[in-house]
Amino acid sequence: MLYLTEKKQNIQHILVFSLTSGQRVFYLEEPQYSIGRYSTNAIVINAEGISRQHATLIKTSKNDEHFSYVLIDGTIEGDRSTNGVVVNREKIEKTELKHGDNIYFTGDVKAHYYIIDNRNQECVDKFKPNLFINSTSPDINGFANHTQLKENNIDIPSLSEIKNLASVVELSPIPIVEINYEGTITYLNPSTNLKFPDLQKRQIKHPLLQGLLEKQDYNNGSLVIREVDIENQSFEQHIHYLAQEQLIRSYIFDITQRKQAENELKHHAFHDGLTGLPNRNFFDQHISLISKNSQRYNKLFAVLFIDIDNSKKINDTLGHNIGDQILQYFAKRLNSHIRKSDFVCRWGGDEFVVLLGEIQNPDQAAKFSQRLLQTFEHPLQIEGHEIYLKCSVGIAIYPEDGQETEILLKNADAALYRTKESGRNHYQFYNPQMGVEIAENFTLENQLHQAVKNGEMILHYQPQINIKTGQVYGLEALIRWKSPQLGLIKPGKFIPLAEKTGLILPMGEWVLKTACQQNKKWQQMGLPPVRISVNLSAQQLQQPNLIETVENTLESVGLDPKWLELEVTESMLMKNITIAKKTLQELREMGVYISMDDFGTGYSSLGYLKKFPFDTLKIDQSFVKELNQSSQDLHIISAIMTLSRGFNLRVIAEGVENQEQLKLLKELNCEEMQGYLFSRPLSSEDVLKYLIGFQKQKNQFLLSTNN
């Protein structure tokens, strides 16, 4: 091992710690040192009573000859240590240290501060009298007594011992290398030889020394910091240019772990943790490059917004673990379809975005979407579950559908929205009309919030007639929105928005309470009691407090439960059969009647009729609309009537509008009907007139329906 001449500083600052385990010596030259028990401190003292960052040393001057150190209790930000710092028996917050100062951190941790002059004595007096001890002094005890440094329980080392300890650079675990301005190595400490055994052999060609001579013109004391990669390791090199001495000194710090951590953080910042795909941050950078390239060379590219259909249902029924596996599988399959010029990212949740770069025409985006949809035609097997994946795609083309990223994304999202509205598991290209509709829906959604808040909702009631007895058997409560700006808005326009925003829950509670109050009011006016029907939403049926809400409503209004009927659909039951069955059973036991609405449009499983406590089946109006002697609908309704008799269920035909429909339904023994033939939905005031007037017309009505 070769050791060449070391350039020593004329003034040396040394801090000697006396610990229960022995002495520790620190050679001070950096601008700042933190002292404490945390491993991030420059000087780590792991002892009882030492704070995380107990004290701080700050260099008073950049001048290598004329400086000392200021000792601060705690941090430079003002956070004090728990037990404080005592210098020469006085507790301090901040003090400039002098040679020989005695420092107490805790009872078991003490230190002494020394300043040693390696030059002749005459140079000392010109700086600060009594600040330095001459290196030629025989020992330190005389000066120590003068400054009251001597303590009975501390052994103060001699000056020669201190000077030997000052060669801590030899023992430093940090590699230190020095070369002259000719490129010859003048010093290596042992750590350098251990860490870089080929440095002596390669000399100036070694990565640590390459390029150093190009900076010789730096001023004396100039510091340059650079990173050097050697094989699979990374190092931070602090380079000091000492022009007067014609030397270049380097301190080398291994930052491999730090760089790995930084790279991991960078990867996480630009990639999705679950699927490993690029995320939105990465997407923003990539689409910016593609846009510039497409604009420069007049090329097309496509933005595809992709959404996994029914992912929420999968999570709710099979759990989020399987949901995560599905996302990973979907991402893998999606990634397998793209070319090198394409880009795919996970946008968030169950949404993904694909950039198809350098396409010749929009048809390429359509073909990509078709291939993607075909990929999921076969079921996926996960943990014993057979799952059919479906997805919807919305497509926007640059520059026709937008030249700015935000506009392209908005338009692709609008196309996706339309795809999902029209049945899902398909793709659609953007057209300008979609943007208009999206804007209208956005405005309508905001107005809907205000409508619920301002009480703009009203109820209309449509009579249900028993054609055999001529009685009004019941009334179905139908919500309407009476907007001051837009007029009367039908449910088909705002109910989907209410379900999307969650407003359906407060709206549903309002409908239930208002309908019950109105029914009770009619009874108090002396009208014959009728059953009021209220449609439940899917979200209401899943609410754990639905039973309590219905019970409290009936009790507060004073309405007998037998005059309330709640309507549900088959699709609502499928969301969670167990919860739905339990809820409906409790409602029926309470005395509330239960009706299945739109019967025949869903699965129409006979198992539902056995499992659930239905009282009524409502034949969907789609079967009544085209009803004639030769239609298949006639046979469907006939089958429903047979089923209802077998299960002892009441049947109501919806959407009856003309005499032919009435006649055919009567022939099928359907006795209860609802539709425009009998009455449109009426306001509460008009219902009162209708009920009073209907009694007078009853005999004539019975005569006409029986002919």
Asked if pLDDT for residue 220 goes beyond 70, the answer is no
* CA–CA separation, 142 and 350 (whole Å): 79
pLDDT band at 453 (very low <50, low <70, confident <90, very high): confident
Strand-pairing partners, residue 308, are 391
* CA–CA separation, 47 and 12 (whole Å): 27
Extract the tokens encoding 284.
Answer: 């923003």
For the segment 451-479, the average pLDDT, to the nearest whole number, is 92
Q: For the chain, how are helix, strand and coil distributed in percent, rounded to 5? A: 40, 25, 35
Asked if pLDDT for residue 706 goes beyond 90, the answer is no
Extract the tokens encoding 533.
Answer: 């029907």
pLDDT band at 1 (very low <50, low <70, confident <90, very high): very low
Extract the tokens encoding 421.
Answer: 């509205």
pLDDT band at 435 (very low <50, low <70, confident <90, very high): low
DSSP conformation class of 11: E
Instruction: Mean pLDDT check: name the lowest of 246-260, 404-418, 440-454.
Output: 440-454
pLDDT band at 567 (very low <50, low <70, confident <90, very high): very high
Q: Mutual orientation of helices 432-454 and 504-524 as an angle, nearest 10°? A: 50
DSSP codes, 580-625: HHHHHHHHHHHT-EEEEEEETSS---HHHHHHS--SEEEE-HHHHH
Domain residue extents for the chain: 11-171, 176-259, 275-430, 444-705
pLDDT band at 153 (very low <50, low <70, confident <90, very high): very low
Taking residue 369's Cβ as centre, other Cβ atoms within 10 Å add up to 26
Classify burial at 36, counting beta carbons within 10 Å of its beta carbon; exposed 0-12, middle 13-18, buried 19 or more: buried
Domain 444-705 has CATH 1.20.20.10: no
The CATH number fitting domain 176-259, selected from 3.30.60, 1.10.540, 1.10.10, 3.40.1840:
3.40.1840
DSSP conformation class of 213: G
* pLDDT given for residue 424 in this prediction: 81
Phi first, then psi, for residue 646 (nearest 5°) are: -65, -35
Asked if pLDDT for residue 168 goes beyond 70, the answer is no
Pairing of β 185-188 and β 650-654: unpaired
What's the pLDDT tens digit per position in 114-144? 887 654 333 333 223 333 333 333 233 322 3
Extract the tokens encoding 46.
Answer: 């792991």
Cα separations (Å) of 492 from 60, 151, 436, 480, 497? 78, 92, 18, 10, 9
Catalogue the E-assigned strands of 77-175.
85-87, 90-92, 94-96, 102-106, 109-117, 133-134
The CATH number fitting domain 11-171, selected from 1.10.1030.10, 1.10.3720.10, 3.40.50.300, 2.60.200.20:
2.60.200.20
Asked if pLDDT for residue 699 goes beyond 80, the answer is no
* CA–CA separation, 100 and 150 (whole Å): 9
Just give the CATH number of 275-430: 3.30.70.270
Instruction: Mean pLDDT check: name the lowest of 315-324, 403-412, 476-485.
Output: 315-324
Closest listed residue to residue 656, CA positions, set 467, 460, 479: 467
**Percent of the chain whose pLDDT exceeds 90:** 45
What's the pLDDT tens digit per position in 222-247? 788 899 999 889 999 999 888 878 88
Asked if pLDDT for residue 165 goes beyond 70, the answer is no
* pLDDT given for residue 80 in this prediction: 94
Q: Mutual orientation of helices 280-297 and 256-270 as an angle, nearest 10°? A: 70
Asked if pLDDT for residue 609 goes beyond 50, the answer is yes
DSSP conformation class of 505: H
